[in-house]
Amino acid sequence: MEVRQLPFSQYSDSHLINRFIITGTEPAFANALRRIILAEVPTIAIEEVIIIENTLPLFDEYIAHRLGLIPLNSDIDDLNMIDECENCDGAGCSQCTIGLGLTRESGQDATETIYSSDLEASDPRVYAASDTIPIMKMGKGQRLILEAIARFGTGKEHAKFQPVSSVGYQYMPIIEIRPGTKFTKEVADACPREILEFDDKNSSINLSNPLKCNLCMECVVAAEKDSIIVREDKNQIIFLVESNGSLPVENIVIKAADILHGKAEDFIESLHTASEEYETDPKLRSKIISFERIAIQKEDEN
């Protein structure tokens, strides 16, 4: 397996987006990585909100829900997962939770907006990934005072813990243009990714940046039969990860690969244990053999 980094500037100047090509792999591997990124890479999010004063015309639950969805910087190694915290057995303590506070009061003459930057954490390493996420608008002379508790969690528990705003992959596109074919400008214009460049001198089409192709097949439909062929190479996968700011994008992929590696090691260990038990426990062996017989019998009946 080989990994090639695509230039960041090719798709976006944002440091939160990363695209790379995995060669010599299977879609199943890319899908496992994608699913682990979504469900198992932990991030910090607000879990509990204690409203001390709320004179806004909004329910406390609504405010708490919005706070929970704010991505918080989670690039911290020394905060325990709450359910694995030996210090408190999951009750919540300073080794597995972070306290945050928010106090805002609008003036008598002006409406104001509460932003994510108004949240103040007890640990300076925890802060909103973006300062400008609007939490809510305040009318004149309104007040909001609250405390919140944040902790690590994973996407399989709640989507607010997902480290990405998007993650996905596609097969490597292979675009072949039949040499000598005369094209019309409409064919080039059919491409939503502007990959096909029309050369009106020769009525030909040139490719610019085929890696941007999303395999939509619009050009194939617009062109004369077999003059453009678009195929996918399933052994080469273009992987896209867009962090929501809670973790650097490279860390997300590395953590997911570590988790996948850990799962493979657990599986190998369980397999060894199972085969040792099979060898040494005659009762278990006869049980498995009778299960196998039942399965074969059922298959024969069907």
- Residues near ligand SF4 (CB under 6 A) are 173, 175, 190-191, 193, 195-196, 213-219, 230
Q: 176-179 contacts: CB < 8 A, separation 24 or more?
A: 176/228, 176/229, 176/230, 176/231, 177/205, 177/207, 177/227, 177/228, 178/226, 178/227, 178/228, 178/229
Q: Which is nearer to ligand SF4, 158 or 234 (CB)?
A: 234
Counting every residue written for the chain, the total comes to 302
Residue number, 80 or 170, with CB nearest to ligand SF4: 170
- What is the C-alpha separation between 131 and 14, in angstroms, rounded? 16
Cβ neighbourhood burial of 164 (10 Å; 0-12, 13-18, 19+): buried
> Closer CB to ligand SF4, residue 41 or residue 191?
191
Least Cα distance to 130 among 261, 299, 16 occurs for 16
CB of 176 to ligand SF4, least distance (A): 11
Report, in Å, the least distance between residue 243 CB and ligand SF4.
25
Whether 149 and 93 have beta carbons less than 8 Å apart is answered as no
DSSP assignment letter at 11: T
Choose from ligand SF4, Zn ion, none: what does 219 bind? Cβ within 5-8 Å by kind.
Answer: ligand SF4
214 binds, among ligand SF4, Zn ion, none (CB under 5 to 8 A by kind): ligand SF4
The CA distances from residue 146 to 55, 68, 73, 118, 130, in Å, are: 12, 13, 20, 11, 20
Q: Choose the one of ligand SF4, Zn ion, none that binds residue 175, judging by a C-beta under 5 to 8 angstroms depending on kind.
A: ligand SF4
- Nearest distance from C-beta of residue 6 to ligand SF4, angstroms: 16
In the complex with ligand SF4, which residue's Cβ is closer, 45 or 228? 228
Residue 191 interacting partner from ligand SF4, Zn ion, none (CB closer than 5 to 8 Å by kind):
ligand SF4
DSSP letters, 17-32, are EEEEEEES--HHHHHH
- What minimum distance in Å lies between the beta carbon of 196 and ligand SF4? 6
- Considering the complex, state which of residue 58 and residue 216 has its C-beta at the smaller distance from ligand SF4: 216
Q: How far is the CB of 8 from ligand SF4 (least distance, A)?
A: 21
Out of Zn ion, ligand SF4, none, what residue 195 binds, judged by CB under 5 to 8 A for its kind, is ligand SF4
Q: Tell me which of Zn ion, ligand SF4, none is bound by residue 87, counting a contact when its beta carbon lies within the kind-specific cut-off of 5 to 8 angstroms.
A: Zn ion
Q: Which residues bind Zn ion (CB under 5 A)?
A: 85, 87-88, 93, 95-96
Instruction: Name the residue nearer to Zn ion (CB basis): 95 or 111.
Output: 95
CA-CA distance, 157 to 9, in Å (whole number)? 34
What is the smallest separation between the CB atom of 19 and ligand SF4, expressed in angstroms?
16
Cβ proximity to Zn ion, 85 vs 190, nearer residue = 85
Q: Which of 13, 42, 16 is nearest to 240 (CA)?
A: 16
Out of Zn ion, ligand SF4, none, what residue 96 binds, judged by CB under 5 to 8 A for its kind, is Zn ion
> Which distant-in-sequence residues (6+ apart) come within 8 Å of 249 by Cβ?
15, 16, 17, 18, 241, 242, 243
